[in-house]
């Protein structure tokens, strides 16, 4: 997948300008290349050293920047190899110059995720922890970051290894019984084996149950705001986002395309989508906006149907209710600070929770925020953090449970231990694939390709 016997280099901080930028070297020549760049003797391990970074061009030595250089000798480093980190001023030009100088001195530009991949290969982290690195980097809410760090710290890995150890012991006892069939010497009887399988299954069920909620935190939810023109959709969108992200005017059809922003709802990232007002008339651009709005509804986790009670209930409003009758939705009655023009309540028999709001009044959106959290079930998720959030892990836990669910009845039906062991081995293989003890190059490539260069 990657060559691992050379020295790699990359900028480890995000693209753009900043106060500090970090260039990372890792590999057998990291120290030697750093010495060339710094023109000084060997760096002291784990001690930041102020130095001038140099490069040689056409025989002339030029200064690039003043840096803080820190050496992390392997195996006690992020990658398990010799690592040198150069903290320079955060100019892209300066950082690119450092990388170029390191490459001329013998380093190779790192591939995406290659530093973390080397840490995985060298036993510094397992595959669960490697994936947690990417999740931590990409976290957009504090709760996402906390769960990613828990996984990086080994919370899930410890739970998986404990289940795997119990399963390994059970398999070893059953295989030992197979080795001595004539002597009648059994290391575990069927009742004990059935009890052990049941206990392991319960532990997997607990992880799966928590993991289904955990996916909400990792992947977030999409909420689409729909309604007729001028009901206050964009004002609600801006109020929930906390900025004037969408244009608000009294002219029907102001919003022509989908406007999106991510907000934090009790630690869960919610992708909020403002859409064009739904009506049957308009120019070609507005018609396309309406088409995109209806398409967004089909993939939304929740729809906010916005109605303006300060004007009579229209046919377009009734059509929207009918179109979304099978959609998970909140019925948002907006402009509650104005006199109502509704002769009767047209939403009284409509399925869905009704929320009274005023997008322009202080605190007028608080009932909607509370309803969002309750309807998306994020209150339960954020109150009870879970150790597993990754769909790959959940799929493999399902496979492991499938093997156990076949092994349990087989034990009860007094099927030969050989067939029971085969089912248990399948379950154990799935657990080992979660942590990376058993995996394929294609899977590793798929996982580490998601990383940024420098990580």
Instruction: Give me the CATH code for the 8-125 domain, please.
Output: 3.30.1360.120
pLDDT at 189 over 90: no
286-334 tens-digit pLDDT = 556 566 767 777 778 888 888 888 888 888 888 888 888 888 888 988 8
Look at residues 449, 429, 451 and name the one whose alpha carbon lies nearest to residue 441: 449
CA–CA separation, 146 and 387 (whole Å): 10
Contact in structure between 216 and 376 (CB atoms under 8 Å): yes
Average pLDDT over residues 340-349: 81
How far is Cα of residue 269 from the mean position of the Cα atoms in its chain?
A: 10
Of 226, 222, 233, 237, whose CA–CA distance to 294 is shortest?
A: 226
Q: What is residue 251's predicted lDDT score, i.e. its pLDDT?
A: 39
DSSP 20: E
Structural domain boundaries in the chain: 8-125, 127-436
Residue 199 has pLDDT above 80, yes or no: yes
User: What pLDDT shows up at residue 445?
Assistant: 82
pLDDT at 431: 94
pLDDT digits (tens, 9 = 90+) for 249-266: 443 444 445 788 888 887
Residue showing tokens 């036993």: 123
Mean pLDDT throughout 23-40?
92
Q: Is the pLDDT of residue 75 over 90?
A: yes
DSSP, residue by residue, 281-337 = ---HHHHHHHHHHHHHHHT-SEEEEEEETTSPPPHHHHHHHHHTTTS-EEEEEE-TT
Q: Which of 213, 235, 237 is nearest to 223 (CA)?
A: 237
pLDDT above 90 coverage of the chain, percent? 31
Q: What 8-state DSSP symbol labels residue 185?
A: -
Higher confidence at residue 185 or residue 372? 372
Distance CA 123, CA 4 (A): 14
Q: How far apart are CA 344 and CA 121, in angstroms?
A: 68
Confidence of residue 184 (pLDDT cuts 50, 70, 90): very low
Using N-to-C axis directions, what is the helix angle for 391-412 and 190-219, rounded to 10°?
Answer: 160
Query: Dihedral (C-alpha) 11, 14, 19, 23: value to the nearest 10 degrees?
Result: -10
* Spatial separation of the C-alpha atoms in residues 329 and 371, rounded to whole Å: 11
DSSP alpha helices (H): ranges in 4-53? 30-38
Number of H helices, E strands in the chain: 15, 12
pLDDT given for residue 185 in this prediction: 44
Q: What is the pLDDT of residue 11?
A: 95
Overall fold of domain 127-436: Rossmann fold (3.40.50)
Alpha carbon distance 142, 66 (integer Å): 34
């Amino acid at each position: 997948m990657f060559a691992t016997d050379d020295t790699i280099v990359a900028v480890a901080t995000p693209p753009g300008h900043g106060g500090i930028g970090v260039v990372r070297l890792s590999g057998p020549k990291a120290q030697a290349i750093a010495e060339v760049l710094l023109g000084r003797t060997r760096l002291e391990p784990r001690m930041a050293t102020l130095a001038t970074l140099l490069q040689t061009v056409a025989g002339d030595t030029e200064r690039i920047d003043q840096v803080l250089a820190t050496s992390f000798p392997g195996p006690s480093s992020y990658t398990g190899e010799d690592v040198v980190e150069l903290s320079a001023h955060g100019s892209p030009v300066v950082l690119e110059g450092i990388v170029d100088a390191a490459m001329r001195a013998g380093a190779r530009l790192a591939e995406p995720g290659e530093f973390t991949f080397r840490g995985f290969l060298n036993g510094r982290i397992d595959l669960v922890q490697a994936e947690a690195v990417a999740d931590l980097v990409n976290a957009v809410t504090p709760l996402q970051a906390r769960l990613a760090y828990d996984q990086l710290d080994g919370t899930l890995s410890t739970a998986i290894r404990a289940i795997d150890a119990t399963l390994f012991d059970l398999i070893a006892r059953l295989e030992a019984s197979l080795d001595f069939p004539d002597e009648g010497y059994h290391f575990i009887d069927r009742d004990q084996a059935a009890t052990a399988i049941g206990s392991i299954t319960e532990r997997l069920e607990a992880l799966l149950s928590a993991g289904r909620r955990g996916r909400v935190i990792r992947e977030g939810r999409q909420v689409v705001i729909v309604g007729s023109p001028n009901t206050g959709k964009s004002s609600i969108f801006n109020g929930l986002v906390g900025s004037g992200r969408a244009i608000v005017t009294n002219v029907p059809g102001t919003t022509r395309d989908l406007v999106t922003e991510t907000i934090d709802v009790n630690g869960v990232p919610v992708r909020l989508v403002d859409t064009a007002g739904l009506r049957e008339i308009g120019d070609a651009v507005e018609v396309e906006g309406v088409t995109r709005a209806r398409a967004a509804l089909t993939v939304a986790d929740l729809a906010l149907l916005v109605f303006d009670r300060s004007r009579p209930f229209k046919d377009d409003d009734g059509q929207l209710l009918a179109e979304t009758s099978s959609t998970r939705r909140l019925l948002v009655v907006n402009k509650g600070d104005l006199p109502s023009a509704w002769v009767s309540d047209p939403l009284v028999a409509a399925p869905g929770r009704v929320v009274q709001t005023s997008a322009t009044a202080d605190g007028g959106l608080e009932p909607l925020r509370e309803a969002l959290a309750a309807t998306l079930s994020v209150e339960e998720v954020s109150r009870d953090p879970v150790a597993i959030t990754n769909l790959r892990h959940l799929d493999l836990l399902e496979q492991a449970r499938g093997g156990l669910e076949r092994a349990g009845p087989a034990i009860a039906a007094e099927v030969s231990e050989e067939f029971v062991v085969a089912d248990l081995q399948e379950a154990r293989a799935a657990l080992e694939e979660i942590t990376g003890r058993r995996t394929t190059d294609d899977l590793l490539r798929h996982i580490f390709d998601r990383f940024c260069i420098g990580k």
